[in-house]
Amino acid sequence: MTKVSVLVAVYNTADYLPQCLDSLLAQTMTDIEVLCVDDGSTDAPQLSFSSMQSGISVLNLLS
């Protein structure tokens, strides 16, 4: 079981998302999960997700 879950709201945050996710994944605690919630962004945050390493889950609420 994961000790810490971090929820990241990603509505129109494509410009800032890579820096945010890099920071979360660089934490010294290794037993974390990062859950990104995209609820209808219009700025294509999925491009940021495709370049990120594993350990990030993406929840698309609207398609």
Report the share of the chain in percent with pLDDT over 90.
Answer: 8
Model-level pTM greater than 0.75? no
Q: Where are the domains of the chain?
A: 4-60
The set of residues, in sequence order, having a beta carbon less than 8 Å from that of 7 and lying 6+ positions away, is 35, 37
Local confidence band at 46 (pLDDT 50, 70, 90 cut-offs): low
Predicted confidence (pLDDT) per residue in 17-42, tens digit: 889 888 988 889 888 888 888 888 88
Look up residue 22 and give its two tokens.
């890099």
